[in-house]
Structure 1
Amino acid sequence: MKTQTKLLTFLFFIISTFIFSQKNFNEKLLDKKLTALQEVTKTVGFSVAIVKENEVIYSKGFGYSNLEKKIKTDENTLFAIGSSSKAFTVALLGIMEEEKGLSFNDSPKKYIPELNFYNKELNNEVTILDMISHRTGLPRHDFSWYLFPIENKDSLLARVKYHKPFTGIRKQWYYNNFMYLAQGIITEKLTNKSWEENIRERFFKPLNMSRSNLNIKELQNTTNVSKGYVLENFTTNKVIPYYNIAAISPAGSINSSAKEMSNWLKVWLNDGKFNDNQILPKKYIQKAMNPLMLVGSGIADEKFPDQHLNSYGFAWFTSSYKGHYRLEHGGNIDGFSANVALFPTDKIGIVVLTNQDSSALPTLVRNAISDEVLDLEKTDWKTYYEEKIDKLKQSQKKAKENEKSSIILNTKPSHSLIEYAGKYNHPGYGDFKIKLQNDSLFAHFTIKKMYLSHKHYDVFIPYIIEDNKLDTISDLGIYFNFQTNNLGDISSTKLKLEPTLDDIIFKRTPEEVDITKEILNKYVGLYSLSGTELKIFLKEENLMLFVPGQPEYTLTPIKENEFMIKGLTGYKARFEVNKSTLNLVLIQPNGTFTAIKK
């Protein structure tokens, strides 16, 4: 009996020592610090998990997944993780390297022959590794997928041909989501399966990530799901709709929980293994732990000079955090923010998921946890944030004052508002329409509607409309600057969508109007122009113009009596009654000519 007691005491000592070695921090103190960060950032809710080697040593939810119904968050609550998804996409290529003979130094065109870039240098020299490390010389061009989403990946990638670079290959790091779309498509070509199928089969199933999913429809059809929120005026949380990122999914469509993401961390902390199953090749893990491209100057914050060598690798930002090597990646999509971090040499992993749009909380919580778990000098991250937010408020206030002072008073648009209406197109982005409604202009994008407020001259400021309410708080930071052609018509609008490039120009096509066949028949006939006979006739319900020696032209109605001449930029035809005579007025870049109906 005494022997058994001694044995039990010994086993209890061993187990207690093991648990202590796994979790060498004060859990209650950590709870208190994380709650303080939640309060200072005014975050509705978040979840966190900490992994040590192959064990979850801390997992918890804070606040609410649904503020209105006061539903509490826990470690199983699903959040959108945004760009923290990227490491999954590159990891698929790591598997393809072992199984399909892919090389990261290959040209992406080897697998996607139809992929075309803006210039010859990109087409001939860019590699998969360049796309992974954001060093292609392309800026983000994010409005291309955000304002103009489509479901077909190949069609979305085709827009890259019209995306202008701002520098040469490998000269500067610059984030680009389209290059991760391309990586997802490469795995589709190699496996004859969709990126989504590959993610489920290669990661979700073997990692027991049974509740994790890959689109908003799946998210809405499950339980314990967080709503997304935006903090308005630094004071009030407002629920916002889920954003379906559609075809750009390989860059950031995963929805998951802190608990299930902890299994993903275990893979990275254990040479690619999970429960003795080799999920990722060990060679890939060893390679993917390394940086590829320096980000910025290397020191992100002068207040923390020991956080240096900031670089980017295989969908991980790499740096030194207070002397400890760290990999991490954030994620942001409407209503949600995330951060996933690894300390490979310390065998520590951290995941933070929150339901606040563009939130500082994941970074603050990650850092606070790192200080505790790694037993580092403690930074007061709450005060750090308060100082940062005060500076941000001041800068935003100054920006609004500058915006107000930059308005040139007593100016008006050069045309009547109806003349700005029409369809606007850029091949690297897509189409949107501007419509006149109740004496105001509205821009209609694929899933967004904006009110265009006149600033001065032909410049308008866009404000997003959500739930039929005008959002005057969110600042898109862009203007609609309308241009005219040689005829004086509104021909395009310029949008400053990329800070590193000139304005993106969207060309205007006037909106077609419906004209009855009875009215069109009035215009049919022969017209004399300086001895030349012009013919106006109907063909398949379209009004046509025939000029001797030229092809037939289709006349596209933009007003009851005014038509664009299809195929001839800057040419119009207008029918005018002069006393009892019907005239055909041809408006051209080289002049205006009048033909009289016979």
Structure 2
Amino acid sequence: MIVSVIRKCLCCIGLAAVATAQTPDKNKFEKMEPALSAILQEAHAAGFAVAVVEKDKVIYSRGFGYRDVAKQLPVTAHTQFAIGSCTKAFTSALLGNLRKQGKVDFDKPATTYLPALNFSDADLNNQVTLRDMMCHRTGFSRYDLAWYLFASDSRDTLLQRMHFMKPNAPLRARWQYNNFMFMVQGMVTEKLTGQSWEQNISSQFFQPLGMNESSIGTVSLAAATEPARGYELEKEKEIKLMKYHPITAMGPAGAINSTVTDMSKWLITWINGGSYNGREIIPADYVKEAASSQMVIHGAFPDKAKPYEQFANYGLGWMLESYHGHYRVEHGGNIDGFTALTTFYPLDSIGIVVLSNQNNSGVPTKVTDLISDRLLGVSNVATARKPGPKPEDPKPVNDSSLIAHPATHPLTAFAGLYKNDAYGNFDIYLKKDSLFARFPYVTWYLQREGYNIFSPYDEADTVIDVNFKSNIRLQFMMNYSGDIDQLGFSFDPAGEPVIFNRVPQLLNIPAATLAEFTGEYKMADMLITIKQNDAKVLTMTVPGQPLYILEPVDANTFQIKELKGFKVKFIRDAQQQVIAITSIQPNGTFRAEKTSSKTK
């Protein structure tokens, strides 16, 4: 889901394919295994597991490579991986079960079932349906870093943030992937069942399917019998261990962990119309609906470079496409250190699941296509999906023109709390002579590029690659008073840069000192009155205007709470007596002389 902006040097680790026990159909697949091993080697991946089902049987399952590179522990068919967004089909299927019970209607507004959901546009509260959420057509872009970088364990907290998110397309006009809408689906199931989403997944799917090797969340993954460690690839061939990234609140969008053994049971259920071993797990009508087109992903004419792909649509928690004339239903998943792909061909009664412990990996797609080609009898394997061009190693960026221009402020002026209601808050602080940005699960070192522009690097990196330039830039901005009051950087590729407002650190000035500022100040014919209220807070009265609250930002300077960018600075003489105020406004600076220390 998230592409790391950090690079560091690491030794290249060689990989070997490690086999697990074979199924009775070994001969059918053994000719394929050298090619599968080659995919692992070419990708410099740690490992992967694959299982293939036909009708109601597992016809192949095997592990390749290592679940733990450092310990040389092999991947098996029972190794547990994070499956990321393959979770979505589980979440939407819960709603399918609830609909059969008459508890939910996909085409009613989601607020019918979750009144706490409150979009910024009130009309959307009456228009956005569960179906819109299930097929990504709400008009909202991803907003992923609002839950990834600004993580919270509370779904209610993330739900409140949704009020401040703005759609960038009309409802049902454009397909835009959005994880928040799947969190909402999970919350709806909680409301309607009185059980947590996690309990519902376990009771409705894990238990009846015998998915005893599946779990939810990073704590459970770490405690599994055969947990896979997650890795990312640097400089095309260097393997780096990645930490598990908890996504508790966003669980309904991507927090399930599983093995290919367990996921085979899930695939068999879908291939057999929602039933497993003769027991209905998911309603048959929902299975057909979920695997049917609900929203167009790409409406363009087929590309000659991909003649096998003639359409790409979205169902309910599943992606739909053609593959060499075969109807293909699939969903991928990616979360720190893991990539997954779950695929089935409903008309061919074939299913394939590939789970890998490589971040943003092309391995699951390559393995799935290779097996699909053989099972479907596609002769021209070269037409199978190919990954895009490999990204080039970062080139040194000549920032001399930027670096030549110093920052407008000392580093201390950039420090503080920055806030955005849709994303959350984070701190920027000074340590020694460097700036750092602190988020819930990560801390960035900020390297100045020039002016007030900085690039982020992971603080955990002890060696920073000077040739690598982050693709994220943070730009600090000034208000009319010349103070740093905002920070902007691009979180969402589909939207404008996100602006965070700096929250000034207010001083705690004793009441006796505040009393020195009280009195009357005259500017031309206008009399300004400064008082201290019962709460020991300074107030300012200007004729014909409302009462203003003054908030101390330094010993003699106060910001006007109600007026952004407006300040009042008290002037003292050589004897430290207050003699005047300067009103700092966007349209100028104005001085008023103190005429009396008494107030009426």
Q: Give the alignment's TM-score, normalised by structure 2.
A: 0.87
Q: For 1:285-311, what per-residue CA distance to the aligned partner results, in whole angstroms no more than 9, with x for missing partners?
A: 122221112212457864321222111
- After TM superposition, the structure 1 = structure 2 runs for residues 169-568 of structure 1, keeping only pairs within 5 Å, are 169-298=171-300, 302-380=304-382, 384=386, 388=388, 391-394=389-392, 397=394, 400=395, 404=398, 408-466=402-460, 470=464, 477-512=471-506, 517=510, 521-525=512-516, 526-530=518-522, 534=529, 544-545=538-539, 547=541, 556-568=551-563
Once residues 213 and 477 of structure 1 are traced to their aligned partners in structure 2, the CA distance between those partners, rounded to angstroms, is: 35
CA drift at 1:488: 1.7
- After TM superposition, the structure 1 = structure 2 runs for residues 135-150 of structure 1, keeping only pairs within 5 Å, are 135-150=137-152
Mapped contact 1:229–1:355 kept (Cα < 8 A):
yes
Q: For 1:226-262, what per-residue CA distance to the aligned partner results, in whole angstroms no more than 9, with x for missing partners?
A: 1111111112111111001121111000011111111
Q: Report the residue type matching 2:429 in the other structure.
A: K
Check 1:34–1:318 CA distance in 2 against 1; reply closer, same or farther (3 A cut): same
Q: 1:164 aligns with which of 150, 163, 166?
A: 166
Q: Report the residue type matching 1:480 in the other structure.
A: L
Q: Report the residue type matching 2:290 in the other structure.
A: A
Mapped contact 1:23–1:373 kept (Cα < 8 A):
no
Q: For residue 12 of structure 2, what is the aligned residue in structure 1?
A: none
* Paired residue secondary structure (1:320): strand
CA drift at 1:528: 4.2
Check 1:439–1:382 CA distance in 2 against 1; reply closer, same or farther (3 A cut): farther
1:71 aligns with 2:62: no
Once residues 68 and 382 of structure 1 are traced to their aligned partners in structure 2, the CA distance between those partners, rounded to angstroms, is: 33
The answer to which of 344-353 and 304-313 deviates more is 304-313
Once residues 243 and 473 of structure 1 are traced to their aligned partners in structure 2, the CA distance between those partners, rounded to angstroms, is: 27
* Paired residue secondary structure (1:264): helix
Mapped contact 1:544–1:552 kept (Cα < 8 A):
no
Mapped contact 1:100–1:190 kept (Cα < 8 A):
no
Q: Report the residue type matching 1:524 in the other structure.
A: A
Q: Report the residue type matching 2:334 in the other structure.
A: N
* Paired residue secondary structure (1:315): coil
Q: Report the residue type matching 1:427 in the other structure.
A: D
The answer to which of 345-354 and 219-228 deviates more is 219-228
1:580 aligns with 2:582: no
Q: Report the residue type matching 1:579 in the other structure.
A: A
The structure whose residues are more often helix, as a share, is 1
CA drift at 1:551: 8.3
CA drift at 1:331: 0.2
Check 1:73–1:24 CA distance in 2 against 1; reply closer, same or farther (3 A cut): closer
Q: For residue 83 of structure 1, what is the aligned residue in structure 2?
A: 85
- After TM superposition, the structure 1 = structure 2 runs for residues 19-38 of structure 1, keeping only pairs within 5 Å, are 23=25, 26-38=28-40
Mapped contact 2:48–2:356 kept (Cα < 8 A):
yes
* Paired residue secondary structure (2:208): coil
Once residues 309 and 324 of structure 1 are traced to their aligned partners in structure 2, the CA distance between those partners, rounded to angstroms, is: 11
CA drift at 1:562: 3.7
* Paired residue secondary structure (1:453): strand
How many residues align? The count is: 566
Mapped contact 1:337–1:355 kept (Cα < 8 A):
yes
Once residues 406 and 291 of structure 1 are traced to their aligned partners in structure 2, the CA distance between those partners, rounded to angstroms, is: 52
Q: Report the residue type matching 2:566 in the other structure.
A: Y
CA drift at 1:498: 2.2
Once residues 470 and 316 of structure 2 are traced to their aligned partners in structure 1, the CA distance between those partners, rounded to angstroms, is: 30
Once residues 320 and 24 of structure 2 are traced to their aligned partners in structure 1, the CA distance between those partners, rounded to angstroms, is: 24
* Paired residue secondary structure (1:295): strand
The answer to which of 499-508 and 476-485 deviates more is 476-485
Unpaired runs of at least 5, structure 2? 1-22
CA drift at 1:344: 0.7
Q: Report the residue type matching 1:529 in the other structure.
A: Y
Once residues 318 and 304 of structure 2 are traced to their aligned partners in structure 1, the CA distance between those partners, rounded to angstroms, is: 22
Q: For residue 3 of structure 1, what is the aligned residue in structure 2?
A: none
Once residues 562 and 67 of structure 1 are traced to their aligned partners in structure 2, the CA distance between those partners, rounded to angstroms, is: 58
Q: For 1:460-503, what per-residue CA distance to the aligned partner results, in whole angstroms no more than 9, with x for missing partners?
A: 22222236665778876332122222212112112222233222
* Paired residue secondary structure (1:160): helix
Mapped contact 1:336–1:357 kept (Cα < 8 A):
yes
Once residues 415 and 275 of structure 1 are traced to their aligned partners in structure 2, the CA distance between those partners, rounded to angstroms, is: 69
The answer to which of 196-205 and 562-571 deviates more is 562-571
Check 1:242–1:342 CA distance in 2 against 1; reply closer, same or farther (3 A cut): same
Mapped contact 2:230–2:357 kept (Cα < 8 A):
yes
CA drift at 1:585: 3.6
Once residues 461 and 174 of structure 2 are traced to their aligned partners in structure 1, the CA distance between those partners, rounded to angstroms, is: 41
State the superposition RMSD in angstroms: 2.9
Q: Report the residue type matching 2:285 in the other structure.
A: K
Q: Give the alignment's TM-score, normalised by structure 1.
A: 0.87
Q: For residue 11 of structure 1, what is the aligned residue in structure 2?
A: none
Q: Report the residue type matching 2:591 in the other structure.
A: F
Unpaired runs of at least 5, structure 1? 1-20
CA drift at 1:439: 2.2
The answer to which of 252-261 and 303-312 deviates more is 303-312
Q: 1:93 aligns with which of 69, 87, 95?
A: 95
Q: For residue 19 of structure 2, what is the aligned residue in structure 1?
A: none
CA drift at 1:564: 3.4
The answer to which of 550-559 and 494-503 deviates more is 550-559
* Paired residue secondary structure (1:368): helix
Once residues 156 and 444 of structure 1 are traced to their aligned partners in structure 2, the CA distance between those partners, rounded to angstroms, is: 19
Identity of aligned residues (%): 36
Mapped contact 1:24–1:373 kept (Cα < 8 A):
no
CA drift at 1:267: 0.5
Once residues 230 and 302 of structure 2 are traced to their aligned partners in structure 1, the CA distance between those partners, rounded to angstroms, is: 29
Q: For 1:114-155, what per-residue CA distance to the aligned partner results, in whole angstroms no more than 9, with x for missing partners?
A: 212232453332221111111111111111111111112122
Q: Report the residue type matching 1:505 in the other structure.
A: I
CA drift at 1:409: 4.8
Q: For residue 593 of structure 1, what is the aligned residue in structure 2?
A: 591
CA drift at 1:407: 5.3
Once residues 187 and 563 of structure 2 are traced to their aligned partners in structure 1, the CA distance between those partners, rounded to angstroms, is: 38
